[in-house]
Chains A and B, each alone.
Chain A
């Protein structure tokens, strides 16, 4: 039913069905009325003729010399010839009549009055004679002892009814196409705003999502709501597109700085004749390359988390064990930086539901961050606890801390805290936030007792269902 897949089609079909039914009802009613009125007219004619007939009889009896002829003309028409009856319009043919006296005089009949009618009682009756049906009106005048019968056959009646019928339905017939056209036109006109909206949306360029440019006040209410919803979606899409482009541009630029550092150190290495300077320069160049590799890796992680393609499998992961692995791997970095790295588990296991690679990346970023910002001689503590169906990971460092107003902004890509020289890719904390959000958790930086910062990650424990939290700012 292809018509029903189109709004225009649906409306048109509904409208035509309603109008059609209405029309059919009116049509039927009109025909019925026509038939009724035709029958009434027939009866009226019979009655009129009966009255006239009896009056004629009265008149004739008053003038006895003018005996009515047994054959001869009908009272209301000219001389009858055998062929005339057929030619004359049956609808307007006058009824046949018969007059019978009680005193035995010979009855008077019109030529076409049916014989063998049988006896009829006064009033209207239907009789079938010789294959035709007659409507007979019998009038008895007791005073003058005369019975008159007027009859009209079905041909005549039929012709009359047919005429009435045609008169009734003629207007109805050309109303039908008019209805159809009117229905079409009103559906078309009524849905015009919808078509305008469709054209507006069609005109959108996917790369440059502009506003639809429709004035909501000039739209029908229902479309107004639809347009508002679409505009809101477009605005969010624009925002996301914009942020993605800005992010990509920023990431590109951010890569240039470690590239520049690497390049400068390598040029230095070439220029110097001093072996110590040479080696130191190459070492720093390597550090730059590590930074770049980290940045690229984190960009890829972020891209995967953002894409949410679901290709990263999830299972029950023991976060405590994961953290222990990271600690073991990073112990050397920490020692080289003059830092102590320790892990304390509140419970032997801390199961969460998630992707082990992403989670490990998250922990690694937090530890890396702590190592970068902790001065020599301090300690980095990691604690994993399970409480109230939540798993909490805490990373405590003894570094310079983060000012209150920057605690949220440090999670923005490439953010630098004032006064601290840039180290690393600038994507460590944003990656942490993205992974945590993807796993339905929360991450926050807060002050701790004493100098330093506590990074606190809260994730739902494995038995609780996970819903991804909508991170409103990361986009």
Chain B
């Protein structure tokens, strides 16, 4: 998943982003609410982790801006220090999809993010299928006809994005953003390399190149 983290505490933000990256996700981390207003316009995020207490724009105001003014539908999970029901009700009513009270258990956080991403892409569970190809999101497992196929972390990310919308083109930019977030792109063109690796492991007909646009998983 590509996750946007809006958290002002240095240690917590660092802990969350490092742990999520370790879990194979791409994380972009912002510390100020006002910086995050336009972040979702780059619509490659699977989910957002939003701390309610932020300098600049508060978490709730940010939510409202996203939902009401921009019509952003990306799932948002809210982090809050207050377990009070009023705060949580306010957050949920203003457009949050889920909330967690700090301190958070990372496993729980990841599972909830997966659930949110799953819902928003319309899938019933964490298993994505396309023909004989089966991708299990939570375990990062890929099988063809039941047999496991070993993929690197980045290869898995590319495949995950392609299999989320089978048959539909996924733009190159989107794929790269999903892989690296706003971080620096490597100077070589690893996307081509990754697709090449995938074709090798899954079969060349699986992935189709759409010239000038991106790639597509063949159904």
Is B8 touching A281 in the complex (CB atoms < 8 A)? no
Is B10 touching A421 in the complex (CB atoms < 8 A)? yes
Interface residues of A in 271-298 (CB under 8 A from B): 271-272, 277, 281, 284-285, 287-288, 291
Is A268 touching B106 in the complex (CB atoms < 8 A)? yes
User: B68 at interface (Cβ–Cβ under 8 A)?
Assistant: no
Shortest distance between the CB of A467 and any CB in chain B (Å): 37
Complex: chain B residue closest to A266, CB-CB: B15
Is B19 touching A416 in the complex (CB atoms < 8 A)? no
A419 to chain B: which residues have CB within 8 Å?
32, 34, 55-56
Q: A418-B34, A421-B31, A423-B10 are in contact. Are A264 and B16 (CB under 8 A)?
A: yes
Q: Which of A261, A264, A288, A420 has the most CB of B within 10 A?
A: A264
B9 to chain A: which residues have CB within 8 Å?
257-258, 260-261, 421-422
User: B82 at interface (Cβ–Cβ under 8 A)?
Assistant: yes
- Of the residues A253, A271, A421, contact of B8 by C-beta under 8 Å: A421
What is the bound-complex CA distance between A265 and B55, given in angstroms? 23
Q: A260-B102, A262-B11, A284-B14 are in contact. Are A267 and B55 (CB under 8 A)?
A: no
How many CB-defined contacts (below 8 Å) exist between A and B?
A: 98
B14 to chain A: which residues have CB within 8 Å?
261, 265, 284
Is A422 touching B55 in the complex (CB atoms < 8 A)? yes
User: A417 at interface (Cβ–Cβ under 8 A)?
Assistant: yes
Shortest distance between the CB of A259 and any CB in chain B (Å): 5
- Of the residues B12, B82, B101, B105, contact of A261 by C-beta under 8 Å: B12
Query: Number of A residues contacting the other chain (C-beta, 8 Å)?
Result: 31
Is B56 touching A281 in the complex (CB atoms < 8 A)? no
- Of the residues A267, A416, A418, A421, contact of B15 by C-beta under 8 Å: A267
User: A385 at interface (Cβ–Cβ under 8 A)?
Assistant: no
Shortest distance between the CB of A246 and any CB in chain B (Å): 12
Is A261 touching B11 in the complex (CB atoms < 8 A)? yes
Is B103 touching A264 in the complex (CB atoms < 8 A)? yes
Is A268 touching B11 in the complex (CB atoms < 8 A)? no
Complex: chain B residue closest to A268, CB-CB: B19
User: A256 at interface (Cβ–Cβ under 8 A)?
Assistant: yes
Complex: chain A residue closest to B107, CB-CB: A267
A471 to chain B: which residues have CB within 8 Å?
none
User: B124 at interface (Cβ–Cβ under 8 A)?
Assistant: no
What is the bound-complex CA distance between A418 and B53, given in angstroms? 12
- Of the residues B13, B18, B102, contact of A281 by C-beta under 8 Å: B18
A417 to chain B: which residues have CB within 8 Å?
55
User: B104 at interface (Cβ–Cβ under 8 A)?
Assistant: yes
Q: A265-B14, A271-B19, A423-B10 are in contact. Are A256 and B102 (CB under 8 A)?
A: yes
Interface residues of B in 98-112 (CB under 8 A from A): 101-106
Instruction: Give the interface of B toward A (CB within 8 A).
Output: 8-16, 18-19, 22-23, 31-32, 34, 53, 55-56, 79, 81-82, 101-106
Can you list 24 A-B pairs, Cβ within 8 angstroms, ordered by A? A256-B102, A256-B103, A257-B12, A257-B102, A258-B9, A260-B9, A260-B12, A260-B79, A260-B102, A261-B10, A261-B14, A263-B15, A264-B11, A264-B12, A265-B15, A267-B105, A268-B15, A268-B18, A277-B18, A288-B11, A416-B55, A418-B55, A421-B10, A422-B8
